[in-house]
Amino acid sequence: MGRILDGVRTLACCAGLVMGLAGATGAWAESVTDLAGRQVDIPDSVYRIILGEGRLVYALAPLEKQHLFDRIVGWQGEFRGADTQSYDQYLATFPQAANIALIGKTTADTVSPERVLDLHPDLAILTISGHGPGKSSELVAQLESAHIPVIFVDFRADPLRDTVPSMQILGRVLHREHEADDYVAFYQSHLRRVTERVAAVPQAQRPKVFIEMLAAMRESCCHTAGRGNMGAFIDAAGGQNIAAPLLPGYIGDIDLEKVISADPDIYIADGTKGPKASGPGLRMGAEVTPALARASLEKVMDRPGISTLRAVTGGHAYGLWHSFYDSPYNILAVEVMAKWFHPTLFADVDPDATQRELYTRFLPVSQEGTFWINARP
């Protein structure tokens, strides 16, 4: 596939020529069922891709590797805002990322269908849940009217169910089946190691866990995950998510009083602020040192109500990278939670080694930073 793309770049001096070559063949490789249950015909060759969310780059990276930005012609701008450090690190390796057209800002209502159509895509990749255009959006209707295939994947609502099929779907539509199979095998082997051990842990021995998402960044506590999203990681790692029975959806807000009443055994704060960011919140992710991450976690914990939680006073408080909530790298969050919840059972599991394997085998950029931290060294 890399040779095909290199040939196309050599021949195509402009987007119109690429479109002319694709249109002249009229070739369709196969029909794919996407995560929304839609049957979609995909082109035999894909040259120009639109991403409904910029953070879909997390999913494309293990498939495209050094060709990550060869085919992306438009994306939504939330990646560079929500995960500025990762964007900067990718930009350092792939300067062409700065020239990708923005089709919107950070929400679906800012996406312009006209802008997308002007880019002449031959494939659009959207997510079922999140910040980008959904199944009923005007963008989908206009793309389908223009006979441009639209594929839905998802890593956010029910990530442990949807990550594998989403990566398989992307592998097929991008004609990167081998790369997708490799990543899925890696993912499933690490997840299975955790879930098989957790299955033997009685419910009474599973700690009560509270995760505060984007901790301290809102005026009031507490933004969290219910059944799904980060809550699914807690379940898989052998914890009891105190918010699961309190929320109707997979993400929402609960009162601080309910957190205090539940008296969790473990407190997790998540965030994605970088070292140059201002305002309250957890410093976590690329370019963040362990010292900075821990210092910011201490400030997050030192708030009324949170500071008095038994989990905090007892030394069972942790910090986690927020963007695991919408990424196929979520297996790292599952492993590190399992280690926090059941340190003896998972004494031989090394999430740092798993992260190194992921970066070395699958990603074109090896990110330096801190993606989880203990409040106490």
301-318: per-residue pLDDT in tens? 999 999 999 999 999 999
What values do phi and psi take at 43, rounded to 5? -65, 155
For 56-71, the pLDDT digits (tens) are: 999 999 999 999 999 9
Total number of domains in the chain:
2
In a domain, 191, yes or no: no
Residue 5 has pLDDT above 50, yes or no: no
Task: Look at residue 271 in the predicted model and tell me its pLDDT.
Answer: 97
In a domain, 187, yes or no: no
Beta carbons of 218 and 250 less than 8 angstroms apart: no
pLDDT, average across residues 272-282? 94
For 205-242, the pLDDT digits (tens) are: 999 999 999 999 988 899 999 999 999 999 999 999 99
What percent of the chain clears pLDDT 90, i.e. is strictly above it?
82
Task: For residues 301 and 269, give the distance between their C-alpha atoms in angstroms, rounded to a whole number.
Answer: 8
Domain boundary among 181, 215, 248: 181
Task: For residues 251 and 256, give the distance between their C-alpha atoms in angstroms, rounded to a whole number.
Answer: 16
Whether residue 151 is found in the same domain as residue 266: no
Residue 23 has pLDDT above 70, yes or no: no
Predicted structure pTM score: 0.91
Full residue range of the structural domain in which residue 125 is found: 31-181
Task: For residues 206 and 194, give the distance between their C-alpha atoms in angstroms, rounded to a whole number.
Answer: 14
Residue 24 has pLDDT above 80, yes or no: no
In a domain, 19, yes or no: no
Q: At what angle do helices 177-198 and 57-64 cross, to 10 degrees?
A: 120
Task: For residues 270 and 161, give the distance between their C-alpha atoms in angstroms, rounded to a whole number.
Answer: 22
pLDDT, average across residues 319-338? 97
Whether residue 174 is found in the same domain as residue 220: no
Burial of 142 (0-12, 13-18, 19+ CB in 10 A): middle
In a domain, 198, yes or no: no
Average pLDDT value for the chain: 91
Mapped onto helix, strand or coil, the DSSP state of residue 316 is coil
Looking only at Cα atoms, what is the longest distance across the chain?
67
Domain containing residue 282: CATH number: 3.40.50.1980
pLDDT tier at 27, thresholds 50, 70, 90? low
Task: Look at residue 108 in the predicted model and tell me its pLDDT.
Answer: 72
Whether residue 227 is found in the same domain as residue 300: yes
Residue 323 has pLDDT above 80, yes or no: yes
In a domain, 190, yes or no: no
Angle at alpha carbon of residue 282, lines to 277 and 285, rounded to 5° = 75
b or e along 173-198 (b: 16 or more beta carbons within 10 Å of the residue's beta carbon)? bbbbeebbebbbebbeebbebbbebb
